[in-house]
Amino acid sequence: MSTQTADHTDIRATNLAAVLGHLRRAAPCSRAAIATGTGLNKATVTSIVGELLDRRLVRETQQTQNHVGRPATLLVLDGSAYATIGLEVSARGLTALGCDAAGEQLLRWHRAGPGVDAGPAKTVAGLAALARRAISTVQSSGRRVLGITVGVPGLVNRDGAVVLAAGLGWRDVPLRTELAAAIARPDIPVTVENDASLGVLAEHLYGPLAGSANLIQVTGDTGVGAGIIADGRPLAGNLGYVGEIGHLRVLPDGPLCGCGRRGCLEALASLPAILARADETPARAAAPAGAGAGAGAGAVDAAGDGDPQQRLEALIRRADAGEAAVTEVLQDAGTHLGYGIAALVNILNPEAVVLGGAYALLATHLTPAIEQALREAVIAPDAGGCAVVPSTFPHTATPLGATAHALTPLTNGRLPAP
């Protein structure tokens, strides 16, 4: 005879998550409305709301509601006493973002480097310095830090180790352990996630397509990767290795990729690949007295070794000025990227693909070629209804998603220790 022993802590957490979820969707609302909306009985709701009020995660408004009988006090979420910190590692540099538990931005910093070739140790030191400064800033405003999440462009295992980040030249870096040790705050949990998975979480929670049940964000700032919301939830797969389109072979015998193969999407359409090709164009235009090379802004920055952020800005200027050679580089990259996105669309049938990071900044130049590739390569009519749109967070989607990710235990009904 098999009977199930219920775990009361689990049930409390599930019910707590249901109450928080109802408040997120329907606040302001009364305790009675929460009971009706969640199916929980009123005594349970009263007890949970009491605990949330104690912890300053919910507050009573001055509003009341009075259908029949005595007036009911209305409740709203409160997140002002807590904060989380989101960090991002990319070829464009390191970014830190702090938000309170209601998603209000508290701080945002970016620093260049430490550069792709600097190795993980320098990156860990740079991240730890950013994190410590962010913790102290958040705490000085009277808030408690619930957690830190870091986004990295690569495969991240369940222990927060970076198994492979070809674009950073990393392999088997125990980032979570090393960063937690360097931050030296054992009371603040540190987690590490794939950058695109965090980016799409930000789009799903805060972007113009918030709430779309099937949404993909594609980024190429370092490697090329996709974050996936499927059926309303972040897709994680078996071990977290999802959205890896960077090594799809789009051009047999194409250029060598950091992974050792040839013709990978990453070697043709990542930002570093685009910058490298664009850097070659002024020389080419100069030699055979190139026809119609555009508005001259092309002379700016062809060094190839500068700060990637500055090189990106120079590329955007050249493209916006209509420089033909640069436009062609971006069209080629858009075509390859479009075939990679087509594989995602054929397999996942999303409502939209969001172009993240540098792709968002280059969207006007990339999108026509991407849409053309989707028309050619997606088998469903009208690309299965999929729109291609630039992100509204080109600089912060990953760290913003990271701040939301660090709230996961709370969202799941696990309250911080009192």
42 contacts 22 by C-beta, under 8 angstroms: no
Pick one of 127, 155, 269, 388: the residue that binds a copy of itself (CB under 8 A): 155
Q: Does 45 bind a copy of itself (CB under 8 A)?
A: no
| Ordered DSSP codes for 360-394 | HHTHHHHHHHHHHHHHHH--SGGGGG-EEEE-S-T
Question: Closest Cα partner for 180 from 141, 221, 148?
Answer: 148
Q: Does 40 bind a copy of itself (CB under 8 A)?
A: yes
Q: Does 373 bind a copy of itself (CB under 8 A)?
A: no
CA–CA dist 196, 259 (Å, integer):
19
Between 26 and 286, name the residue whose CB sits nearer to a copy of itself.
26
User: Hey, what are 63's tokens?
Assistant: 């509003």
Amino acid at 336: H
Pick one of 51, 332, 351, 371: the residue that binds a copy of itself (CB under 8 A): 351
Q: Does 344 bind a copy of itself (CB under 8 A)?
A: yes
Q: Binding-site residue total for a copy of itself (CB under 8 A)? A: 70
CA–CA dist 307, 360 (Å, integer):
19
Min dist CB 148 to a copy of itself, Å, is 25
End-to-end CA distance of the chain: 40
Min dist CB 406 to a copy of itself, Å, is 21
Pick one of 181, 210, 213, 286: the residue that binds a copy of itself (CB under 8 A): 213
Q: Does 13 bind a copy of itself (CB under 8 A)?
A: no
Pick one of 163, 297, 316, 415: the residue that binds a copy of itself (CB under 8 A): 163
Long-range contacts of 288-296 (CB under 8 A, 24+ apart): 290/324, 290/325, 292/324, 293/323, 293/324, 293/325, 294/318, 294/321, 294/322, 294/323, 294/324, 294/325, 294/326, 294/327, 295/321, 295/322, 295/323, 296/321
User: Hey, what are 259's tokens?
Assistant: 């992974």
Between 148 and 196, name the residue whose CB sits nearer to a copy of itself.
196
Pick one of 169, 237, 296, 304: the residue that binds a copy of itself (CB under 8 A): 237
Q: Does 1 bind a copy of itself (CB under 8 A)?
A: yes
Peptide bond into 114 cis (omega under 30): yes
Binding site for a copy of itself (CB under 8 A): 1-4, 6, 11, 14-15, 25-26, 28-30, 33, 36-37, 39-41, 44, 63, 65, 74, 155, 163-164, 166, 213-214, 226, 228, 230-231, 233, 235-249, 252, 259, 261, 339, 343-344, 346-351, 376-381, 384-386
